[in-house]
Amino acid sequence: MRHAGKSVILFACLGASSFQYAHGAYPERPIRVVVPYVPGGNIDITARTIAPGMSAELGQQVVIDNRGGANGSVGQALVSNAPADGYTLVLTSISALVTTPALSGQFDYDAMKHFSPITMVTRVPIIMVVRLGLPARNVKEFITLAKSQPEKFIMASVGTGSAGHLTGVLFQTLTGTKLTHVSYKGAGQAHLDVLSGQVDVYFDQLSSAMSLIRAERLRVLAVLTRSRSAEIPDVPTMEEAGVAGCESGITSGLLAPARTPAAIVGKLRDAIVKVLRTTSVRESFARLGAEAVESTPQEFTQFLRTDTERWTKVIQLTGVKPN
């Protein structure tokens, strides 16, 4: 029995040292970061902005792999089923991660169960813009106008269930207004119809509308974040404008498959935070209308939980269905 006990102890020690060695060597090969959208969008640009710095910090190439489809769900599902070894990650929009399964109920992954959050990366505010000819100079006047003629005013979005659409739904729920929703295939066409006067209001990403705002071709009524944006400091938050609880933005974050070892998650998080704190990266994000954010895995998990609860409630209460 004594010999058996010694053998067990020796085996345990060898196993522990082997585990420690294996994870101490991470990463030993290139790391793939899946972007679940086509090239050229905000999330893709974000990934390509931080990838060189990540490569330098980790000592291995970080490769961006675009896997667009189903509002991010194709790429997200791919990563949720990948080995939990730190070599396949996903950089995605948190709103898409939590709302797409809630909208359809058809995807076999859960944001809270099938991923190991690493850190949030960027945040882009959602803003409320209206056409210049609309007789509403602020949110209060818009609410009064919309209530006076229910369903007359057109609200654009880039798809049913998109962040902009759900934000508009939340706004209507909180203010008692009723708008007519029109879904577009992309922000470009939605912008054109706002500019031409065919659309009245659009809950848009600040980064997407920035050039039109600077050219004074759109009127911004509010920014839907807790604090004002440095890019448009004169624009009030939605809470300052009188609508509490209407907060929304596009937050991106990096996640690994569930059960990825904490040591790997920690090493990735430390590397990314160093990259996010560099002046060049922060300036690159600012040009997109985004700000760099960082979090611990625990803070990111709580953010996911809160966001999931909030948007699932909005979807359930309003009966929003995907296209």
Domain segments of the chain: what residues?
A: 30-123+250-318, 125-223
Pairing assessment for the beta strands 219-223 and 115-130 based on DSSP bridges: antiparallel
Q: What is the pLDDT of residues 1-30, one digit of tens each?
A: 444 444 444 444 444 433 443 445 899 999
**Any idea what DSSP says for residue 114?**
S
**Phi-psi label, residue 161: left if phi above 0, alpha if psi -120 to 50, beta otherwise:** left
Amino acid in position 52: P
Q: What is the pLDDT of residues 120-134, one digit of tens each?
A: 999 999 999 999 999
**Which CATH entry fits the domain spanning 30-123+250-318: 3.40.630.10, 3.40.190.150, 3.10.20.740, 3.60.15.10?**
3.40.190.150
User: 252 - beta bridge partners?
Assistant: 93, 122
Both structure tokens of 161: 């269930």
**Which CATH entry fits the domain spanning 125-223: 1.20.1050.10, 3.30.70.20, 2.60.15.10, 3.40.190.10?**
3.40.190.10
- The domains spanning 30-123+250-318 and 125-223 adopt the same CATH topology: yes
Q: What is the pLDDT of residues 135-153, one digit of tens each?
A: 999 999 999 999 999 999 9
Distance from C-alpha of 5 to C-alpha of 12, rounded to nearest angstrom: 11
Look at residue 23 in the predicted model and tell me its pLDDT: 46
Highest mean pLDDT among 22-26, 69-73, 279-283: 279-283
Both structure tokens of 316: 């359930």
At 104, is the pLDDT very low, low, confident or very high (cuts 50, 70, 90)? low
CB 195 within 8 A of CB 131: yes
Q: What is the pLDDT of residues 37-60, one digit of tens each?
A: 888 878 898 999 999 999 999 999
The alpha carbon of 91 is separated from its chain's Cα centroid by a whole number of angstroms, namely 9
Both structure tokens of 234: 């004169």
Q: What is the pLDDT of residues 207-245, one digit of tens each?
A: 888 889 989 999 999 999 989 998 899 999 999 999 999
61-65, 191-195, 302-306, 315-319: the lowest-pLDDT one: 315-319
Distance from C-alpha of 180 to C-alpha of 167, rounded to nearest angstrom: 14
Its pTM stands at 0.79
Distance from C-alpha of 125 to C-alpha of 227, rounded to nearest angstrom: 10
User: 157 - beta bridge partners?
Assistant: 183
| Residue 89 half-sphere exposure toward CB, CA atoms < 13 A | 28
Q: What is the pLDDT of residues 153-211, one digit of tens each?
A: 999 998 888 889 999 999 999 999 999 999 987 788 899 999 999 999 999 989 888 88
